[in-house]
Amino acid sequence: MASYTTIQGESSAEIVEKKSRFIGAAQHVETEEEALAFLESIKVEHRMARHHVYAYVLRSGRVRYSDDGEPQKTAGLPTLDVINHAGLTDIIVVTTRYFGGTLLGTGGLVRAYTQAAQQAIEAARKVTMSPCVEALVRIAYPYYKQAARLVEHYEHAKMITADFAAEVVLRILILEGFEEYLKQELDELTSAQVVFEVVKSYEAPF
């Protein structure tokens, strides 16, 4: 699995163009059902609005967008372009428009929807998700400080917890593919007096 960039949670931003309000909302989603549920929640929140333009991109490869009544290619596609330009996936952006009484023209609509989507994404916290493994490392007390220092300075690993009982048990998050290298370094440090066990794998911010 490759790393990918997405956002955490939800973010929003609002712009006003010739008295029309454009409210952009971005949300992390992982399935089409989650994306459509978020879209529906925006429609409920802004039930008096005229348009709810959206685009979403999922890691499954599913990509959809809608102009929701705006002239073709003036709203949904520009929103999708903003998502793709930002290099994001597992995300939906919905821009709600309250019409202000003045027509903006196709160029004005493209600019407004693009800006609303950009600002909603800019307000979000971006994270790079990477395939990782979690390992339990059991070592004797005399090696603890050196082992902790080794993990701290190891580019591809992060200490999660350290438990102290009859021995020290370190719980370590490691980028997938680098677990054997870390194990070798810990073996060298402790003269092979270490128990190294990979307990699970998952995607995590790294």
Residues 73 and 104 in one domain: yes
pTM given for the model? 0.81
Long-range contacts of 30-34 (CB under 8 A, 24+ apart): 30/58, 30/59, 30/90, 31/58, 31/60, 32/56, 32/58, 32/60, 32/62, 32/64
- For the beta carbon of residue 88, count every other beta carbon within 10 angstroms: 20
Residues 80 and 34 in one domain: yes
Residues 27 and 43 in one domain: yes
Q: How many domains does the chain have?
A: 2
Last residue of a domain, one of 84, 104, 123: 123
Per residue of the chain (206 residues), give pLDDT as tens: 689 999 999 999 999 999 999 999 999 999 999 999 999 999 999 999 999 999 999 999 999 999 999 999 999 999 999 999 999 999 999 999 999 888 899 999 999 999 999 999 999 999 999 999 999 999 999 999 999 999 999 999 999 999 999 999 999 999 999 999 999 999 999 999 999 999 999 999 88
Last residue of a domain, one of 123, 150, 174: 123
Q: What is the CATH number of the domain that holds 155?
A: 3.30.70.240
Residues 94 and 162 in one domain: no
Last residue of a domain, one of 104, 123, 142: 123
Residues 99 and 40 in one domain: yes
Residues 66 and 142 in one domain: no
Residue range of the domain that includes 50: 4-123
Residues 183 and 145 in one domain: yes
Beta carbons of 132 and 173 less than 8 angstroms apart: yes
Q: What is the CATH number of the domain that holds 53?
A: 3.30.230.30
